[in-house]
Amino acid sequence: MTAAPGPAGEVRRGPDGRSRLVFRRVFPDPIDEVWSAVTDPARCARWFGTWTGDARLGGTVALSLTSDEDSGGPPADTLITECDPPHRLAVQVTEGGDSAWELSVSLHPTGTGTVLTFEQVLPGTFSPADAGPGWHWYLDRLSAVLSGGPMPDWEATLAATAQHYPR
């Protein structure tokens, strides 16, 4: 059984004029629990990817994203540009000669739970269709790790979310 995908991301224009793909998820878990799932290497490996290196503000880690078929892709240099535990983490991921992916996670307490806002600044050559379904899948995987539920199926996630992101 596969959990239904979470809410669709929105495309927003940032103050710098660049497009951003933004997701908002609400978890019943306390902020420290969600922060740990996002930043602890062993927990992060269960839903997003593995990383090793200098995990501090200004440090660089080697990040390998998890995929449905294998244990991860080739490592990408990832610079930590903001780190304010347990509220905000921002990174720049550089793969080969491509431009950097700017990603951020912001956490805010709400009642006994946590609001997570995930954002990717879209590189100039990217359409939201290039990234939206994948971020759905990863955030649904985070939800599964936090809840102890089943991991989402990639093909089902793609089929359920692709229409939200026309090219």
Give the tens place of pLDDT for each residue, 123-135.
Answer: 887 888 889 999 9
Instruction: Tell me if 64 is assigned to some domain.
Output: yes
Residue among 127, 122, 128, 135 at smallest CA distance from 16: 122
* 156 Cβ contact partners less than 8 Å away, ≥ 6 residues apart: 2
- Asked if 109 and 58 touch (Cβ cutoff 8 Å), the reply is no
Instruction: Tell me if 6 is assigned to some domain.
Output: no
pTM of the model: 0.90
Instruction: Tell me if 15 is assigned to some domain.
Output: yes
Instruction: Tell me if 86 is assigned to some domain.
Output: yes
Instruction: Tell me if 1 is assigned to some domain.
Output: no
| Least confidently predicted of 29-38, 96-105, 124-133, 139-148 | 96-105
- Asked if 80 and 92 touch (Cβ cutoff 8 Å), the reply is no
Q: Which domain, by its residues, includes 73?
A: 11-157
Instruction: Tell me if 166 is assigned to some domain.
Output: no
Amino acid at 128: P
Whole-number Å distance between alpha carbons of 10 and 20: 8
CATH number assigned to the domain comprising residue 136 = 3.30.530.20
Rg of the chain (C-alpha set): 15
- Asked if 131 and 139 touch (Cβ cutoff 8 Å), the reply is no
94 DSSP β-pair partners: 77
Burial classification of residue 111, based on how many CB atoms lie within 10 Å of its CB (0-12 exposed, 13-18 middle, 19 or more buried): exposed
What percent of the chain lies above the pLDDT cut of 70?
91
pLDDT tens digits along 77-134: 999 999 999 999 999 998 766 678 899 999 999 999 999 999 999 888 788 888 999 9
Whole-number Å distance between alpha carbons of 40 and 138: 16
Instruction: Tell me if 107 is assigned to some domain.
Output: yes
Instruction: Please state the length of the chain.
Output: 167
Cis peptide before 86 (omega within 30 of 0): yes
* 105 CB neighbour count, 10 Å cutoff: 21
Instruction: Tell me if 2 is assigned to some domain.
Output: no
User: How many domains does the chain divide into?
Assistant: 1
For 28-43, the DSSP string reads SS-HHHHHHHHH-HHH
